[in-house]
Chain A
């Protein structure tokens, strides 16, 4: 039996850190945090700097994951996806003073912007120069080349299959699984009930499974 393991750890720093350390920080907010988040959004809209920082601190890791899942790597790196995520955060920041709470969660507003930015990036398909990392001073403790390549191929395969799903199914699976939202949160973003999300994700997964099986036969 194969096991997909992602190491659990501590809450990530917003500005730097391995996202894999985010077992407790994957989600936007638990149900009990929703009212806090709404209050935080309200303060951020009024220009409270701490609230803005805290709000973006909640949202940014999920936006990064969303952009990475949609855009993939270029030359082995996520620079383009991360740049788009940064653009999303800047756009959210710019739009904050004009944001009006219409009853839908702030995350819905953010992922709406993210979806448009990703679509723009896919349309322009700009492949700018990719900055390389500085040479490390010590040994690289990350996965070896073979493991890296296998993971990259499988992730790219997942992206290819996801791109063949209908838009709504692809968005749902990426938000639910990669961005790490709960069924309730995903429903809030997509305007669906949690029950409808559960049924739709079941169908989306079945479709994904079917596509994977068809490919393995072909």
Chain B
């Protein structure tokens, strides 16, 4: 007998019953958190992580404009 799993509506997402999927979600969160904190992240063969890392590095590579944002009045 096969068990049919119903797809969960998006509003209920966030607490998975499936431990493997939940672990994957947390692993992804840890990787993205590392990128967000500008920490070294091992991308391995994961092209998506490597490309996001390259985008972050590129965005960070050029100096910010020296134009002041301080209001003059």
For B29, what are the chain A residues with a Cβ–Cβ distance below 8 Å?
A: 183, 198, 201-202
Judging by beta carbons under 8 Å apart, are A18 and B14 in contact?
Answer: no
A213 to B48, CA, bound (A): 9
A31 to B37, CA, bound (A): 15
A102 at the interface (CB under 8 A from B): no
A22 at the interface (CB under 8 A from B): yes
A162 to B16, CA, bound (A): 26
Judging by beta carbons under 8 Å apart, are A26 and B37 in contact?
Answer: yes
Give the number of A-B contacts (CB < 8 Å): 192
Q: Mark B13-57, 1 if CB is under 8 A from A, else 0.
A: 111100000001110110011011111111110111111111111
Judging by beta carbons under 8 Å apart, are B66 and A16 in contact?
Answer: yes
Interface residues of chain A, those whose CB is within 8 Å of chain B, are 1-6, 8, 12, 14-20, 22-23, 26-27, 49, 52-53, 56-57, 60-61, 64-65, 68-69, 73, 77-78, 82, 85-86, 89, 93, 142-143, 151-152, 154-155, 157-159, 161-162, 173, 176-178, 180-183, 193-196, 198-202, 205, 208-209, 212-213, 216
**26 interchain pairs, CB-CB under 8 A:** A1-B42, A4-B43, A8-B39, A12-B64, A15-B64, A19-B60, A19-B63, A23-B37, A69-B55, A78-B59, A89-B69, A151-B58, A155-B51, A155-B58, A177-B36, A177-B52, A178-B59, A196-B10, A196-B13, A198-B28, A199-B13, A199-B25, A200-B13, A201-B29, A205-B32, A209-B47
